[in-house]
Amino acid sequence: MNTSAVAQATPSAHAFTQEARDAIYHAIFSRRDVRGQFLPTPVPDEVLSRILTAAHHAPSVGFMQPWNFLVVRSPDTKRRVHGAFAKAHAEAAGMFEGDRRATYQKLKLEGIVESPVGICITCDRERTGPVVVGRTHMKTMDLYSSVCAVQNLWLAARAEGLGVGWVSIFHQADLQEALGIPKGITPIAYLCVGYVSHFHAKPELETAGWLPRLPMEDLVYFDQWGQRDDQQPLIAHLQRDQAAAQRGRAATA
């Protein structure tokens, strides 16, 4: 018998070791949107290089790699970015009512000035021309590809012990002006990056009572939109894995 062929046919033949799998899931479940715990410790270039390289290896539709990475270290640039945030933040507060507005105004929603590094990930929607494999009909796939780069960077940063905070409360034009980004380039994410004093056990918006984490079993349908089946064995697995993830994050708090 050709044992190598059997090994290739085994479903787990390409699986990582248990230790490696545990590390990946730990990064996923302990990742947080960091706002107020940044330390002034500089991020070494070799660490920054690793997380940027991880971002560059994200999947992209048609392999168009539409992203650029604008690294912000200048205090003056950070202040301009913060000014753009402050303008939009004040406007956003007026969009909520009553207790919701009061809660919103108490939230710490950015670490633009405090974080040692800012990284703006952008999308060049014309990078490989007007016709792109996989984007022939869903024109937003290039934007989604750039979001994959954000997630790759975020998980790599968590593995390096770095905190990341995604700031999205901007007028796009104001952020482009603050960073000198041309009109034809779409800002996807402004990320605050740096070492932190601690990571919270739960997302801050969950802790603040803004919103709870939704149960997975309410979000999974079978074969047709809206079709639930709580008798499916998958649902029991989802419930167990959610409970395990919650126990894990409590243990690392």
pLDDT digit string, tens, across residues 204-220: 999 888 999 999 999 99
Q: What residue spans define the domains of the chain?
A: 31-213, 214-253
Task: Report phi then psi at 61, rounded to 5.
Answer: -60, 135
Whole-model pTM: value is: 0.91
**141-189 pLDDT per residue, tens:** 999 999 999 999 999 999 999 999 999 999 999 999 999 999 999 999 9
Which pLDDT value is given to residue 1? Answer: 42
Task: Report phi then psi at 166, rounded to 5.
Answer: -90, 120
Rounded distance between C-alpha atoms, residue 101 and residue 156, angstroms: 34
- Hunting for tokens 């730990």 — which residue is that? 26
Rounded distance between C-alpha atoms, residue 236 and residue 27, angstroms: 24
Cα dihedral 70/83/162/38 (nearest 10): 150
Return the CATH fold of 31-213. Answer: NADH Oxidase (3.40.109)
